[in-house]
């Protein structure tokens, strides 16, 4: 990408979104952009950020600034990770490999999705020595879940992220109207079709009978019977830190502490699961009251710019996950697009922190916020 081309690229998430809309088929764009039901939760995630306003301090020495933090021995240069976005092959031919390369180039930690278009091992090769976690969807075949966790550890992933808000797929009206389901079309199956335990369950290999293997996967993928006991059993198989993604209720945060979870990710799946549920930023303060710094708490869903990250951190989040903006940038510009998005987001965080009169992002606190009810 030339200097002139770079200068023409968007400076905002909305700009990347507009570019992605042009590049993608409408059904694929809707899949990324949309939420469940009437999309009340999708909209609430953004509205929650708009209710909070930064109250900057003046005459503070902000010549030198620190944006970094560390979670579970994972350094975060700018207080965010890339969220686990599945099936990125529908966005760009190189899919996760392009996004992972961009993340590595910018030093941003990465979370690989269970339903990635490329295997967790091939993504790890692109990441090299860069920090990465692995996100798990718990299937009805527990041994498959354990096998993927063991493969992740062997490939250098340093933590597991268990997504718990998907006992079944949310009621996503745009996808239903479009009759669009990339997973049911065989996208995002690489980690399953390459897994030795999953393959052992098949009469014929995926190479011999793709549709048969896909049917078996669809039959076992959702696990509505998932409980806390399952998480205990995972600990007996893989010695990696475990974070739970999808926590919104403070009582679930208490249970996470009681069950010795290593971290919580406050998330409503970007508004894609239960429509009408609480926005993540609204849920965050009550979760923080429960955890009281005993374990890391991250925030997912609704992050679009640098000031969003500052607001989340001021309300107590140790870091955030960046989702849709990276997907838009991948669709619009591939690896270069994601890299430019990350570079400009870091610049936004840095500038906004200085303008708040704060020189260390870890010193943000609620006194710098005003809530407009």
Binding residues for FMN: 84-86, 113, 135, 163, 245, 267, 300-304, 323-324
Distance CA 41, CA 120 (A): 30
Task: Give the long-range contacts of residues 285-288, CB within 8 A, separation 24 or more.
Answer: 285/315, 285/316, 286/250, 286/253, 287/247, 287/248, 287/250, 287/253, 288/315, 288/316, 288/317
269 catalytic per annotation: yes
Say which residues have a Cβ less than 8 Å from residue 172's Cβ, sequence separation at least 6: 34, 35, 36, 37, 272
**Binding-site positions for glyoxylate:** 31, 137, 172, 269, 272
The one catalytic residue in 92, 118, 216, 269 is 269
CB atoms within 10 A of CB 234: 18
Please name the residues in contact with 135: beta carbons below 8 A apart, sequence gap of 6 or more: 84, 111, 112, 113, 114, 160, 161, 162, 163, 245
Q: Please give the biggest Cα pair distance in the chain.
A: 71
Residue positions in the annotated binding site? Answer: 31, 84-86, 113, 135, 137, 163, 172, 245, 267, 269, 272, 300-304, 323-324
Residues annotated as catalytic (active site), given as ranges: 269
């Amino acid at each position: 990408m030339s200097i002139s081309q770079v200068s023409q690229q968007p400076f905002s998430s909305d700009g990347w979104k507009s570019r992605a809309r042009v590049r993608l088929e409408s059904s694929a764009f809707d899949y990324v952009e949309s939420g469940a039901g009437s999309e009340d939760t999708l909209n609430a995630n953004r509205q929650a950020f708009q209710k909070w306003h930064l109250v900057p301090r003046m005459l503070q020495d902000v010549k030198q600034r620190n944006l970094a933090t560390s979670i579970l021995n994972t350094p975060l240069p700018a207080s965010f990770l890339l969220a686990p976005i599945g099936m990125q092959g529908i966005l760009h031919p190189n899919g996760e490999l392009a996004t992972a390369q961009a993340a590595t180039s910018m030093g941003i930690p990465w979370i690989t999705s269970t339903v990635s278009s490329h295997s967790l091992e091939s993504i790890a090769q692109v990441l090299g020595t860069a920090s990465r976690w692995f996100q798990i969807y718990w299937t009805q075949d527990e041994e498959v879940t354990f096998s993927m966790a063991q493969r992740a550890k062997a490939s250098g992933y340093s933590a597991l992220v268990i997504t718990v808000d998907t006992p079944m797929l949310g009621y996503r009206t745009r996808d239903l109207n479009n009759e669009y389901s990339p997973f049911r079309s065989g996208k995002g199956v690489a980690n399953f079709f390459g897994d030795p335990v999953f393959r052992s369950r098949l009469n014929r290999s995926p190479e011999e009978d793709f549709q048969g293997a896909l049917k078996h996967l669809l039959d076992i993928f959702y696990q509505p019977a998932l409980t806390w006991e399952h998480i205990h059993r995972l600990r007996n198989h893989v010695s990696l830190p475990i974070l739970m993604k999808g926590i919104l209720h403070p009582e679930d945060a208490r249970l996470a502490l009681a069950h010795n979870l290593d971290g919580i990710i406050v998330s409503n799946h970007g508004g894609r699961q239960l429509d009408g549920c609480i926005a993540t930023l609204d849920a965050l303060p009550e979760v923080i009251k429960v955890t009281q710094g005993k374990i890391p708490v991250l925030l997912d869903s609704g992050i679009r710019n640098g000031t969003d990250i500052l607001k989340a951190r001021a309300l107590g989040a140790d870091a955030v996950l960046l989702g849709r903006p990276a997907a838009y940038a991948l669709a619009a510009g591939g690896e270069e697009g994601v890299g430019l998005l990350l570079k400009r987001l870091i610049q936004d965080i840095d500038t906004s922190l200085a303008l708040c009169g704060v020189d260390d992002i870890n010193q943000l606190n609620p006194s710098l916020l005003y809530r407009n009810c």
